[in-house]
Every structure is written in C-alpha cells, then in structure tokens.
C-alpha cells in the first residue's frame, strides 16, 4: 500500500557540487533502521538515534526520522544523507518495518519504493526485492545483534522507500529489469563524493544483465544523447546491449572484459573521447580536462600548418578544436582520436576484449571511427 506523503523532520545538508563531504549508502541506512526497529520491539522507549556497524566495520550513529510501534510491528526510518555525491536518493526516507519471530533466520522483503528484480544477471533472485548482497548481510547482522540473548531467533524485515518509484525514473533500473522503485545498494556503507558508487554499480549491473542474455557486443555511451545516437547506429541491437557508462568508461570496459564480452564499442562526442584519447578512464570535468597539446599534436601529425596547430593549442574547448579541424579540412582528426581511444582502453582492459570507438557530432553524425573498416555488428 502506498504511503501518504509525509513532511520529514530530518533535514540533510544541501549538496555542494564541488564539495568533498562523504555520505551514506541506502544499504547502511536500511540496516540502521532495521536495527532500531528490532531494539524498539525488545526494549520499548522512544529512540532518538541508533549506533550501527557499517559494512566496512566503522561505527556510526544515525538520527532516526521515525520511531513507531504498533502491536508486534515496529517501524523506524532514516533520511539518507549522500553527502556531496550526485545521488538521486539524497534526502530519501529509508524505512524498516520489523516483526520478531521464534523461527530462526532473517527474512528480507521489499516494500513500497524498493524495486522488484525481473531479469537474471544481477546476482539477486528473480521476483525478489532489489536489496544487494552486502546490504542484505548488514541488515541481517544488525538485527541478529539486537535479538541475541532474547526469546526471538528471527525476524521479518521489510524495507521501503516512500517515493522510490518516482526516484527510480532518474536511474536505468527499468532497463536492468528492476521494476517499481530503487535498489538498496552499498558495499562499504560510505558514499564518497564523485565516486558515484551507485552509478558505477548500475554500470556493472547493466553489463551483467546483457551478458546473462548472451549479448557479447556491448555499446558503451557517455550519456543519454550519445546513447540515442548509438541506438540509431545499431538499430538491430537489443536495448540491453546499450550501457550508459557516463564518466566511468574504464569501469565499463574492464567489466565487459571480466564478463567475457567479445567487443565493447565506445560511442561519444569530441569532449569525452578526447579525454579518453589522452588515457583518461574517468572523464568527469572535475577530474580531467581536455589536453589541447595532445589535439594539437594529432593535427600536426596529420599535416596541419604551424599556425593551425597553434590555434588548436589555444582552443577553448574540444568542440572548438572540431570546428577548426572542419574549417581546415583536417577530416581524419576524429578517426585519429578514436584510434588513440581504442589503444588506451584496450590496454586498460588488459587486452582481453576488442575495443572499437565511434565519434559522433552533436547531431549524431559519425565523424570518425576506429577500426574504420570493421562492422561492429559482425
């Protein structure tokens, strides 16, 4: 049953896009809320906060948003603080409802706003809740810690996220076969700014789903626009073959290799591919800049005059370089960039996978590709 909207008491600090404040995963919040609910059932009282053990072994005290008990069911919640990480669940309420029982074992269920797993390849039971393995263990351990020495040996724990289905629209969950909400994620319990652990986890999961379906050529794109262009380039590919890796192309290529894919086709625009051509495998603007010296060198190698090389060296953006190259008729600069991308990413993956690169313009027109004479669909 869908919960009525609530006004939350807990106010999390606003995110600073350039900040370095760490936050906490949905899994850590869920485990702490479940621990609080189990304690409430056993000890009663009015809990204000709860100290818990994160998956990495650190201790942390979370402030409780809710602390309610009705009969044999306790409900506690925590408002997630993702720190300065660009996470769509920042400020979301993570709720745990707990019922204790004499039978041994902790049964985990997904409530409102927690996705249901509808496709294989995620390491989770199809039909079950999208609560990843580390959060599952953490929730189980925290509840067992509370009931140790009591008359109870087990519990039913239901995790929910009010508004989670709407939040999931900002993720690729539906494509992964995660329907109806968000996933409960986290490996350490800590979210580091710009590590975007949740996003990296979604990249890995998307590749796992594709490989589970037997897809051996994956198309890695840097965003929604480049993905739309890639889908036009490869209309016969299944939707699951397209993976938005964002800034994490290195993570994507390596995981494709790890899962035994035949080929990774990287499709992107001049800015991101120029960074990859410079050996960058994480292309966030705050973490790497376009190397104009590299692009000037490529133009020189292709026969550009000294004055043009200097103009490129002083260009404002990679897009500006593209305009200069087009004006001067240096038509193979994009192919040269793609060749360097293939070389760097192939080495990054240990030579265990074929890497192809396609550079498109801002309308989706292919400006360069490498290898130039090989069909990615073969």
Q: What is the pLDDT of residue 43?
A: 93
User: Which tokens hold the place of 238?
Assistant: 């299944």
21-55 residues labelled b (16+ CB within 10 A) or e (exposed): eebbbbbbbbbbbbbbbbbbbeeeeebeebebbbb
Q: What is the pLDDT of residue 61?
A: 98
Q: What is the CATH number of the domain that holds 72?
A: 3.30.2110.10
Q: Which residues contact 306 (CB under 8 A, 6 or more apart)?
A: none
Provide the 3-class DSSP secondary structure of residue 108: strand
Residue 199 lies in a domain: no
Q: How confident is the model at residue 48 (pLDDT cuts 50, 70, 90)?
A: very high
Residue 9 lies in a domain: no
Whether residue 242 is found in the same domain as residue 111:
no
Check pLDDT > 80 for residue 354. Answer: yes
Whether residue 243 is found in the same domain as residue 285:
yes
Residue 32 lies in a domain: yes
Q: What is the pLDDT of residue 17?
A: 76
Tens of pLDDT, residue by residue over 323-332, are: 899 999 998 9
Residue 69 lies in a domain: yes
Residue 196 lies in a domain: no
DSSP bridge partners of 370: 357
- End-to-end alpha-carbon separation of the chain, Å? 48
208-241 residues labelled b (16+ CB within 10 A) or e (exposed): bbbbbeebebbbbbbeeebbebbbebbeebeebb
Q: How confident is the model at residue 3 (pLDDT cuts 50, 70, 90)?
A: low
User: Which tokens hold the place of 241?
Assistant: 């073959």
Whether residue 187 is found in the same domain as residue 299:
no
Whether residue 169 is found in the same domain as residue 254:
no
> Bigger pLDDT: 286 or 60?
60
Averaged pLDDT, 32-48: 95
* Interior angle at CA 143, CA 142 and CA 144, nearest 5: 95
Q: How confident is the model at residue 4 (pLDDT cuts 50, 70, 90)?
A: low
Whether residue 139 is found in the same domain as residue 183:
yes
Q: What is the pLDDT of residue 5?
A: 57
Whether residue 32 is found in the same domain as residue 90:
yes
**Domain containing 254: what range?**
214-370
Tens of pLDDT, residue by residue over 190-224, are: 987 755 666 788 899 999 999 999 999 999 999 88
Cα distances (Å, whole numbers) of residue 78 to 143, 183, 209, 359 = 16, 16, 31, 44
Domains in the chain, number? 2
Least confident of 146-150, 252-256, 313-317, 341-345: 313-317
Residue 256 lies in a domain: yes
Whether residue 66 is found in the same domain as residue 180:
yes
Residue 5 lies in a domain: no
Q: What is the pLDDT of residue 378?
A: 41
Q: How confident is the model at residue 46 (pLDDT cuts 50, 70, 90)?
A: confident
Whether residue 142 is found in the same domain as residue 45:
yes
Whether residue 230 is found in the same domain as residue 171:
no
Q: Cis omega (within 30 of 0) on the bond before 237?
A: no
HEC letters along 32-48: HHHHHHHHHHHHCCCCC
Residue 220 lies in a domain: yes
Average pLDDT, the chain: 91
Whether residue 166 is found in the same domain as residue 300:
no
């Amino acid at each position: 049953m869908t919960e009525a909207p609530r006004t939350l008491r807990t106010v999390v600090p606003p995110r600073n896009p350039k900040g370095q404040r760490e936050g906490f995963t949905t899994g850590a919040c869920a485990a702490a809320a479940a621990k609080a609910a189990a304690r409430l059932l056993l000890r009663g009282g009015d809990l204000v906060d709860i100290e818990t053990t994160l998956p990495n072994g650190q201790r942390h005290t979370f402030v409780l948003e809710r602390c309610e008990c009705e009969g044999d069911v306790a409900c506690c919640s925590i408002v997630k603080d993702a720190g300065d990480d660009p996470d769509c669940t920042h400020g979301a309420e993570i709720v745990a409802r707990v019922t204790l029982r004499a039978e041994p074992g902790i049964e985990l269920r997904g409530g409102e706003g927690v996705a249901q797993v509808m496709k294989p390849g995620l390491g989770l039971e199809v039909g079950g809740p999208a609560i990843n393995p580390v959060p599952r263990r953490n929730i189980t351990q925290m509840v067992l810690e509370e009931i140790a020495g009591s008359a109870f040996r087990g519990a039913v724990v239901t995790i929910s996220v009010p508004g989670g289905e709407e939040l999931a629209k900002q993720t690729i969950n539906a494509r992964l076969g995660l329907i109806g909400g968000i996933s409960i994620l986290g490996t350490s319990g800590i979210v580091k700014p710009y590590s975007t652990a949740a996003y990296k986890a979604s990249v890995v999961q998307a590749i796992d789903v594709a490989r589970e379906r037997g897809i051996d050529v994956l198309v890695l794109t840097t965003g929604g626009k480049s993905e739309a262009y890639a889908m036009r380039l490869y209309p016969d590919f299944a939707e699951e073959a397209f993976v938005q890796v964002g800034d994490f192309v290195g993570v994507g290529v390596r995981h494709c290799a790890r899962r035994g894919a035949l080929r990774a086709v990287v499709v992107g625009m001049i800015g991101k591919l120029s960074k990859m051509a410079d050996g960058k495998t994480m292309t966030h603007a705050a973490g790497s800049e376009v190397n104009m010296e590299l692009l000037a060198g490529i133009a020189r190698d292709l026969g550009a005059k000294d004055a043009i090389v200097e103009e490129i060296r002083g260009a404002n953006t990679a897009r500006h370089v593209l305009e200069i190259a087009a004006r001067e008729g240096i038509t193979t600069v994009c192919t040269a960039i793609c060749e360097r991308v293939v070389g760097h990413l192939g080495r990054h993956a240990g030579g265990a996978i074929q890497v192809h690169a396609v550079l498109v313009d801002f309308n989706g027109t292919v400006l360069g590709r490498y290898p130039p004479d090989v069909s990615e669909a073969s």
